[in-house]
Amino acid sequence: MSDLYQTQEWKSIPVRERYCLLPTMEDVRPGALVKVENPQIKALEYCLQEKGMKSYREKDRLWFVSKNENLLEDIAKKSMSHSKTKSSYPISEEEKEYHTSIGKFFGYPKCCVKTFVKSLDNKLLPLREWRKKAGMVLLKGDYNNLFDYTLHVPCGLECKGTTKIAEEIKKCLENYDKKAAEHLRKFNRDSIERAAKKCITT
């Protein structure tokens, strides 16, 4: 059991960043993106160092972090060239490649990355589509609670890759930082409940 998650440094990092970061620190997923500003930067640097993590900073506030330097180098290159391109429809091959690299960096299931890119191509908003679908299932009472612990947009309610990674994230967060686990659960559930309410009223 690591004591790092009991320290003042760890606790000073905003909780929404902790639930992104912790599964990468504990090898549940390969990379994470965190947003911190002064005065939390020193605390983040300390925590990253304690866990042997490397980082690539973009625009000062955004930190790509990983233990895998090759992965970090790849995402740094892609991210730099991506920030220079504008989105257009249908989306370009570069844009597709960028989302695929992002998916690899965060350890998203391949099926979910493919579906995400495809819906962008169809001019859909993947996250909104997902919440609508999940909201309907929640209303029917068939919702799998593990979806409350995802850090990506699942390709569908049958996605085994999603429930597998969500279960690992849940276990990891509950084990090391219960507050972060509860925060992630509530954030996802609230957004799905809001989508469900919209389905009833419209």
Among 21, 28, 155, 166, binds Zn ion (CB under 5 A): 155
User: In terms of CB distance, is 4 or 157 closer to Zn ion?
Assistant: 157
- Could you tell me where the DSSP H helices lie in the chain? 8-12, 15-25, 41-50, 69-82, 93-106, 110-121, 126-140, 160-176, 178-201
Backbone φ and ψ of 64, nearest 5°: -85, 125
Considering the rule CB under 5 A, would residue 157 count as an interface residue with Zn ion? no
Considering the rule CB under 5 A, would residue 112 count as an interface residue with Zn ion? yes
Considering the rule CB under 5 A, would residue 137 count as an interface residue with Zn ion? no
Considering the rule CB under 5 A, would residue 159 count as an interface residue with Zn ion? yes
Query: Which x/- pattern, by CB under 5 A, does the window 84-103 give for Zn ion?
Result: --------------------
Pair 107, 29: CB distance under 8 Å: yes
Cα–Cα distance, 133 to 2 (Å, whole number): 38
Cα–Cα distance, 31 to 6 (Å, whole number): 22
User: In terms of CB distance, is 16 or 118 closer to Zn ion?
Assistant: 118
Number of residues this chain uses to bind Zn ion (CB under 5 A): 6
Query: Is residue 109 classed as helix, strand or coil in its secondary structure?
Result: coil
Nearest distance in Å: CB 8, Zn ion: 38
Pair 23, 173: CB distance under 8 Å: yes
Pair 93, 121: CB distance under 8 Å: no
Nearest distance in Å: CB 115, Zn ion: 6
**For residue 36, what are its two tokens?**
């911190």
Considering the rule CB under 5 A, would residue 151 count as an interface residue with Zn ion? no
Considering the rule CB under 5 A, would residue 113 count as an interface residue with Zn ion? no
Query: Which x/- pattern, by CB under 5 A, does the window 29-68 give for Zn ion?
Result: ----------------------------------------
Among 23, 31, 107, 109, binds Zn ion (CB under 5 A): 109
Residues that bind Zn ion (CB under 5 A): 109, 111-112, 155, 159, 161
